[in-house]
Amino acid sequence: MLKLGFRSVLAHRLRFVLCTVAVLLGIGFVSGAMVFSDTLSAALKKNFAAATADITVTPLSPLSGTPNRPPTLSSDVANRIAAVPGVAATDGQLLVPDIEILAKDGRPIDTYSLATFGASWPHDDRTAPFKLVAGSAPWGTEQLTLDRNTADREGYELGQKVKVVTPVRAVTATLTGFTTPGRSGTSAGAPLVSFDGASAQLLLLGEPGWTSIAVALQPGQNPDAVSRAIQTAIGDTVQVRTAAQVSADGESALDDTFGGLTAALLLFAGLALFVGTFLIVNTFAMVVAQRSRELALLRAVGASRGQVTRTVLAEALVIGVVGSTLGLLLGIGVAGLIQYLYQRLDLAIPSATLQVSAATIIASYVLGVGITAAAAYPAARRAGKLPPVVALRADTTVPERSLLVRILLGGFLLLMAVLMFLIALTANGLPAAILVGLATALILLGLVMTLPVLSRYAVRALMSPLGRQAPIVLGRRNAERNPRRTAATASALMISLALVSGLVTIAASAKASVDRGIADAIGTSELVVTGDGGRPFSTAVGDRLANVPGISAVHRVRQSAGEVGDQRVTLAGVSDRTLDGPITVEVTNGELGSLAQGQVALPRNLANQLELAVGKTFDLTTTTGKHRLTVGAIIEPNHQLDAVVTSLPRFTELGGGQIDATLYLEVADGTDLATARQAVLGAIQDYPSVAVRDQQAYAAAERGPINGVLGVVGALLGFAVLIALLGIVNTLALGVVERTREIGLLRAIGMDRPQLRRMLQVEAVAIAVFGAVLGLLVGVLAGVAVQHVMVDDGLSVLDVPVLQLVGAVVIAAAVGVLAAIWPSQRAARLDVLRAIATE
Amino acid sequence: MTAPPVQQAAAITTFGLGRSYGSGPTRIDALADVSVEFGQGRFTAIMGPSGSGKSTLLHCLAGLDRPTSGQVLLGDVDLTRLDEKALTHLRRDRIGFVFQAFNLVPTLTALENITLPLDLANRKPDQAWLDVVVQTVGLKDRLHHKPAELSGGQQQRVACARALVSRPHVVFADEPTGNLDSRASADVLGFLHRSVREFGQTVVMVTHDPTAAAYADRVLFLADGRLHEELADPTAESVLDTMKRLDSSSAQAG
Ligand SMILES: Nc1ncnc2c1ncn2[C@@H]1O[C@H](COP(=O)(O)OP(=O)(O)OP(=O)(O)O)[C@@H](O)[C@H]1O
Ligand SMILES: [Mg+2]
C-alpha cells in the first residue's frame, strides 16, 4: 500500500509539493523550538552538574510575586541549622538580582535583558555557587570580583576600578578576581558581581540577611532525612531542598527565562500547521475528486473500501514522512542559526552542541504524519465510499455533498458565540476578555463551517466592482464553483487575519490608552525618573535630586508585590503630597487624607474585583506576612497607580523595601525644563541606568513594549500571509491541472495569455479578499470587545487603526495577484492541442 | 482529380502542407504535402481511416497547430507567419470551432458560452444575428442553463451557435457528431448545412460517418497524411463506395 502511495505521490509531484512545504514549515518551527530549548538546557545542565550544596535552605516567601526586596534569613537561622544532627557546616549566601555593572564608558553593560546578579563570596568551596578562576577573593567594600565572561567582554583587568549600581547604592571598587558565572537557578550564565559576605549585605541589601543558607552534610548522611530534620527545627517559614530538588527547580526556572523564544517559535509552528492543514485538506479533496474514476476502478476490480481509503492515506503518509524529515532538518538549521546569533551577541550563555533528542524526532514525525493523515482522512474516506459504477460513468466528477450539516453545525456554533459575546460584554476585566477570545474562536469555527455557503454570495458581491469582462466573470465563477475549496483556502487567511487584526486593534488601543492615561495621571510633575526596565533604584537618587537647584519637589513612589486572597496586587507607597498634584487622582469615594492614618486607597477597578468599599477591611499578604488594612478612599482607575496605595511609612511597615520605583519631580517656577533636566542628569551621573524624562518622552518609553508586541504581530502577519499565499497558489495550481481541458478550450476559441492570467488572478484575489475581509471583521470585532471589557484595566481608549487594516486588505489582494503568477504561467504554457486531447 | 466545377474565391488554401512528429527513424509524417483549397461558402467534409491525419490537418488549418512545412492562407493571411498572440486573436475573431466533446465552459450558461468569443474580444454581439443563430439552433428556452443541465446533442448545438456567432471566416468541426445518436446528429448536421446554405458560411468538418459526410458539398479523403481522393456532391452511398475502394486498395498496397 505504501508503495502504491509512493508511486502516486511521485506521479503527481506537483500536486503534493505545496502540501509537503506546508508540513515542512510547521514541523520546522516545532523541531526548531525543541532543538533550541534542548540545546540550551543541556548547556545549562552542564553547568548545573557542578556542585551545589547538599541542602539549600531559603526563606519561604508568603508571596509568589516579586517583592521589591528579596526575602532573607538571619545568621541566627544559619546557627540553628548548624546545630541539627548530621549537618557538617552552613554557609550563608546572598544572591540579589537587579544589579548593574557599568562599562568603562560609564554606561550599563548590555545584558540582552538577562538580569545581572550580585552575590556574597562563598566561604566553603563545597557549597559554592560559583568559583574563583583567577586572582583572589574580594575583601571589604573596596574590592569585588566579576565573572570571567563579562570582564573579558568589557575589557576589565585585575586591579582596575569597576563601577556597579545596586538597588542600594552606586559602588566603585577594585577588581581582584575573576569567577565562573552563577550556577543556580535564574542566575546561571548571567553576569555576576561578588563582594565578601559582610560587604555584600551592606552594598547589595543595605541590611543584614542571607537569601539562602547552603548546608554541607557529614559523610554518609541521608540528605532527605537531614532536610526533614532541618524543616522541623526551623519551622515552615523556610524551604528546605536537597541538591536534586534545587537542580530540578533551577532548570525549570531557566526554561522560563528562555521560554519566550521557544513559545514564539511554537506559536509560529502552530499557525503554520493550522493553516497548512487547510491546504492539505484541499489538496486531497481535489486529488480524490480528480481521480475518482481511477479509484472507483480499483473498487470495481475488487478492492475493498478500506483498501481504497488506505491507498489515499498511504499518500498522506508519504507526504507526512517527507515533510517531517525535511522539517526536522530545517528545524535543526533554525536552532543552529539562533544559537549562532546568540553567540555572535557575545552573551555569556553557555553553549553545547545542538541537541536533537529522541523526543524532538518523535514529536516531529508524530505531528507531521498525524496532521497530514488527519487532514487527508475525510478525502480518503470519501474515496473509499465511491461506488464502483463511477468508473463506468462518463462524467468523472462526483457531485458535491450537501452542505446542510455544516450549515446547521456552523449556525449553532455562531449562535453560541454570539451568546458568549453578550455574556462577556456584561462583565469586565481579564476573565471577560478571555471569554471574548473564546467567543471569537467559536465564531471563526462557525465561519469555517458555513463559509462554503457564504462564499458564493460574498465572492460575487466582492468581485462585482471589477466589471463583467469575460476573464473576470470566468475567474469569479471559478472561485464560486467549488465552494468548499474556496472556503477552505479563504479560511486559512481569515483565521490569520482575525488574529492579527484583533491584536493590532488591542495594541493600538493600548498605546492610545497609555498616552491618555499618562496625560491624565501626571499632574504638576514635569520630570519623571524611572529605572531601566522598570528596575527600582537606590533612594540616594531621590535624596540627591532634592538638593538640585531648580527642582522644587521630589515625590517618591515605591512598589512591591502583595496578595489579597489568591489575587496578586501591587502595593504602592507614595510620599506625602504626591497625590492630587504631582499625580492627578480623582477620588470617587472617601478621603485621601485617610492615607496618613495608615488606611489605603484603591482604584475603582481593583476595588470592584476585590469587592471592597470605603470603610471595609481586607487582608494583604506581603513578604512579612498578613496585614489587615482599611480602605480609606476609592479613586478612579489611574495609569500611574494601578495598585493598593499607601503612605510611605505604612509601605515600610508592610514589608516594602527602601528602594524607589518612580520619582516625580516638580520644577521650580522660572526654571527652564531642559535646564532642570540637565541639572538632574548631572546630579546622578553615577546612576546611568536611571532615566529622567519629560511627560512626552515618558509616554513614549511606556509605549515602547507595545511596539515590541506590534513587531511580533508584524512578523506573524508576514508569516501568515506567506502561508496563505502558499494555500492560494496550491488551490490555483491544482485548479489549473484539474481544468486543463477547459483552459485548452478557452485558448482554442481565442483567450489570449493576458486574459488567462487575469482569469486566474481574479480567482485568487476573490479568495484572498474574501478571507481577509472576513478575518478583519472578526478580528476588529474581537479587538473592540476586548477594549470594551478592559476599559478599566488599562484599555481606556479605543483605537481602531483603520489605515493599517485597510492596508492589510490591500496586501491581501496583492497577495492574490502574486499567488496567481506561477499557476498562470503554467496554464499559459499548456499546449493547446494536448490540453484539448486530455481525457 | 478535377478542379471544383464552380469557380469561387477560396476561403482557405494550403500549399505543400506537412506536419511531422519526432525525427530520425521514429519520425512520423502526420501530414505530407497537402495542397488544397476550401471554397468560400462551401461545406467540405474530410474523411479517412483513424490516424490518417484528419485532425492534424484541421488543427493546422485553424491555427491551433503549426505545420512543419508548407503554407496555410486564410483569405490572404499566411497563418504560418503569425505569432502566438496574433494566432490567438485570429482564432477568436475569424474562426469558429466545434469539437467532438467538452466544447463548453461548465461555469458559463449556454448563452454566455455562445457569446464567449465576442466577450473575449470585448465586442458587443449583433443582437439580430444572435437571435437568428439561437433561433436556428433551437435553444431559445435553454439559454440560461449550465452545460451540465443540457443533453449531449444540445451541448453540441450550443457549440455550433458559438462557432457561428462571431460570423467567422471558417467554421471547423472535428467529429462534431461523434458522441451523438442519429437524431441528435441530424440536428447538428442540419444546422451546419443550413448555415452554409442560408448564411453562406464556410464549414470544414472531419467525420467518420458517411451519412454525415453526405451533408457536405465535397468530401476529401486522407490516407497516411496525404490527400487521396475527392468526391463532389456526395451521397451516403457514394461515400461508402469510395471508402471501400480506398480500403481495399490500401489493403492491396499493404
Ligand atoms: N503529438 C503527437 N506526437 C506524435 N505523433 C502524433 C501526435 N499527434 C498525432 N500524431 C500522429 O499523427 C498521425 C495523425 O493523427 P491524427 O490525430 O491527425 O489522426 P486522425 O485522422 O484525426 O485520427 P482519428 O480518426 O483517430 O481521430 C497519427 O499517426 C498519430 O499517431
Ligand atoms: Mg482525429
- Domain residue extents for chain A: 1-55+243-399, 61-236, 403-521+702-839, 536-688
Q: Give tens-digit pLDDT for A682-722.
A: 888 888 878 888 888 888 888 887 887 777 777 777 777 77
Q: What's the CA-to-centroid distance between A64 and ligand 2, angstroms?
A: 84
Q: Give tens-digit pLDDT for A205-258.
A: 888 888 888 888 888 888 888 888 888 888 878 888 888 777 777 666 666 656
Give the mean model confidence (pLDDT) for residues B40-48.
92
Ligand 1 atom closest to Cα of residue B59: 18
Give the mean model confidence (pLDDT) for residues A264-270.
76
Select the highest-mean-pLDDT range: A453-457, A549-553, B216-220: B216-220
Give the mean model confidence (pLDDT) for residues A320-349.
80
Cell of A138: 574580594
Is B107 within 8 Å of A480 when comparing Cβ atoms? yes
What pLDDT does residue A385 have? 82
What pLDDT does residue B1 have? 40
Does the C-beta of B53 come closer than 6 Å to ligand 1? yes
| Mean of pLDDT over chain B | 87
What residues does the ion ligand 2 have nearby, CB within 5 Å?
B 55
Residue of B nearest to A741 (CA): B102
Does the C-beta of B142 come closer than 6 Å to ligand 1? no
Burial environment of residue A115 by CB neighbours within 10 A (0 to 12, 13 to 18, 19 or more): middle
- For the domain spanning B42-53+88-253, the CATH number is 3.40.50.300
More confident residue, A730 or A162: A162
Rounded to whole angstroms, the Cα distance separating B4 from B220 reads 12
Query: Mutate which of B19, B83, B97, B120 to disrupt the A interface (most A C-beta within 10 Å)?
Result: B120
Ligand 1 atom closest to Cα of residue A834: 1
- Shortest distance between the Cα of A487 and any Cα of chain B, in A, equals 18
Count of pairs with CB atoms under 8 A, one residue in A, one in B: 67
Q: Which residues in chain B touch residue A747, judged by CB atoms under 8 angstroms apart?
A: 88
- Give the type of residue at A457: Y
Does the C-beta of B32 come closer than 6 Å to ligand 1? no
Is B105 within 8 Å of A746 when comparing Cβ atoms? yes
**pLDDT > 90? residue A21:** no
Give the mean model confidence (pLDDT) for residues A177-202.
80
Is any Cβ of chain A less than 8 angstroms from the Cβ of B120? yes
Cell of A250: 533551577
With residue A165 as reference, give the H or E element that holds it: strand A161-165
What pLDDT does residue B14 have? 92
Instruction: Please provide the size of chain A in residues.
Output: 839
A280 within 8 A of A33, measured Cβ to Cβ = no
A168-182, A541-555, B240-254: the lowest-pLDDT one:
B240-254
Ligand 1 atom closest to Cα of residue B22: 4
**pLDDT > 60? residue B7:** no
What pLDDT does residue A396 have? 47
Atom 30 of ligand 1 has which residue's CA nearest to it?
B51
A113-127, A211-225, A640-654, B172-186: the lowest-pLDDT one:
A113-127
**pLDDT > 90? residue A503:** no
Residue of A nearest to B119 (CA): A470
Helices (H), B14-68: 54-61
Residue among A480, A745, A749 whose CB faces B92 most closely: A749
Residue of A nearest to B159 (CA): A749
Does the C-beta of B207 come closer than 6 Å to ligand 1? no
Atom 12 of ligand 1 has which residue's CA nearest to it?
B30
Query: Mutate which of A460, A743, A749, A757 to disrupt the B interface (most B C-beta within 10 Å)?
Result: A749
In sequence order, what are the beta bridge partners of B13? B37, B73
In sequence order, what are the beta bridge partners of A161? A174
Q: Which residues in chain B touch residue A469, judged by CB atoms under 8 angstroms apart?
A: 119, 122
Q: Which residues in chain A touch residue B162, judged by CB atoms under 8 angstroms apart?
A: 749
- Give the type of residue at A760: L
What pLDDT does residue A560 have? 87
Residue among B64, B85, B97 whose CB faces A752 most closely: B85
Does the C-beta of B161 come closer than 6 Å to ligand 1? no
**pLDDT > 80? residue B247:** no
**pLDDT > 80? residue B106:** yes
Rounded to whole angstroms, the Cα distance separating B38 from B40 reads 7
Cell of A85: 544532627
Does the C-beta of B154 come closer than 6 Å to ligand 1? no
| Mean of pLDDT over chain A | 83
Give the mean model confidence (pLDDT) for residues B14-30.
88
Is any Cβ of chain A less than 8 angstroms from the Cβ of B117? yes
A38-42, A730-734, B37-41, B211-215: the lowest-pLDDT one:
A38-42
Q: Which residues in chain B touch residue A755, judged by CB atoms under 8 angstroms apart?
A: 120
**pLDDT > 50? residue A60:** yes
**pLDDT > 60? residue B3:** no
Angle between helices A243-290 and A695-738 (to 10 degrees): 40
**pLDDT > 80? residue A346:** no
Residue A78: closest CA among A216, A245, A247 = A216
**pLDDT > 60? residue A390:** yes
What pLDDT does residue A58 have? 84
**pLDDT > 80? residue A127:** no
**Maximum distance among all Cα pairs of chain A, rounded to whole angstroms:** 101
Rounded to whole angstroms, the Cα distance separating A203 from A192 reads 14
What pLDDT does residue B26 have? 84
Q: Which of B34, B46, B56 to mutate to test the pocket of ligand 1 (most atoms within 8 A of CB)?
A: B56
Residue A765: closest CA among A462, A547, A522 = A462
Is B106 within 8 Å of A480 when comparing Cβ atoms? no
Residue among B102, B116, B122 whose CB faces A741 most closely: B102
Give the mean model confidence (pLDDT) for residues A162-170.
86
- What is this model's ipTM? 0.86
Instruction: Say which ligand is closest to the CA of B28.
Output: 1
Atom 2 of ligand 1 has which residue's CA nearest to it?
B21
Does the C-beta of B121 come closer than 6 Å to ligand 1? no
Q: Is A194 helix (H, G, I), strand (E, B) or coil?
A: strand
Angle at A682 between CA A677 and CA A683, to 5 degrees: 100
**pLDDT > 60? residue A394:** no
Angle at A585 between CA A581 and CA A589, to 5 degrees: 130
Give the mean model confidence (pLDDT) for residues A781-790.
90
Give the mean model confidence (pLDDT) for residues A130-150.
89
Does the C-beta of B91 come closer than 6 Å to ligand 1? no
What pLDDT does residue A391 have? 63
What pLDDT does residue B254 have? 43
Q: Give tens-digit pLDDT for A146-156.
A: 988 888 888 89
pLDDT band at A187 (very low <50, low <70, confident <90, very high): low
Ligand 1 atom closest to Cα of residue B175: 27
What pLDDT does residue A393 have? 58
Angle at A596 between CA A590 and CA A601, to 5 degrees: 40
The percent of residues above 70 in pLDDT, for chain A, comes to 90
Burial environment of residue A570 by CB neighbours within 10 A (0 to 12, 13 to 18, 19 or more): middle
**pLDDT > 50? residue B2:** no
Rounded to whole angstroms, the Cα distance separating A539 from A576 reads 16
Instruction: Please provide the size of chain B in residues.
Output: 254
With residue A831 as reference, give the H or E element that holds it: none
Give the mean model confidence (pLDDT) for residues A331-354.
72
Give the mean model confidence (pLDDT) for residues A96-102.
84
- Shortest distance between the Cα of A755 and any Cα of chain B, in A, equals 8
What pLDDT does residue B5 have? 45
Q: How many CB atoms lie within 10 A of CB B198?
A: 10
pLDDT band at A386 (very low <50, low <70, confident <90, very high): confident
**pLDDT > 70? residue A259:** no
Residue of A nearest to B107 (CA): A477
What pLDDT does residue A4 have? 66
Residue of A nearest to B164 (CA): A749
What pLDDT does residue A350 have? 56
Buried b (16+ CB within 10 A) or exposed e, A299-320: bbeebeeeebbbbbbbbbbbbb
Q: Which residues in chain B touch residue A477, judged by CB atoms under 8 angstroms apart?
A: 107-108
Is any Cβ of chain A less than 8 angstroms from the Cβ of B59? yes
Is any Cβ of chain A less than 8 angstroms from the Cβ of B108? yes
**pLDDT > 50? residue A839:** no
Residue reference for cell 463506395:
B241
Rounded to whole angstroms, the Cα distance separating A290 from A307 reads 18
The DSSP code sequence of A668-693 is: PTT--HHHHHHHHHHHTTT-TTEEEE
Give the mean model confidence (pLDDT) for residues B217-221.
93
Rounded to whole angstroms, the Cα distance separating A604 from A658 reads 28
**Maximum distance among all Cα pairs of chain B, rounded to whole angstroms:** 56
Residue among B64, B85, B121 whose CB faces A748 most closely: B64
**pLDDT > 70? residue A652:** yes
Rounded to whole angstroms, the Cα distance separating B148 from B140 reads 17
Q: How far is C-alpha A503 from the chain's CA centre? A: 12
Give the mean model confidence (pLDDT) for residues A333-345.
77
The percent of residues above 90 in pLDDT, for chain A, comes to 9
Give the mean model confidence (pLDDT) for residues A491-497.
86
A42-46, A312-316, A697-701: the lowest-pLDDT one:
A42-46
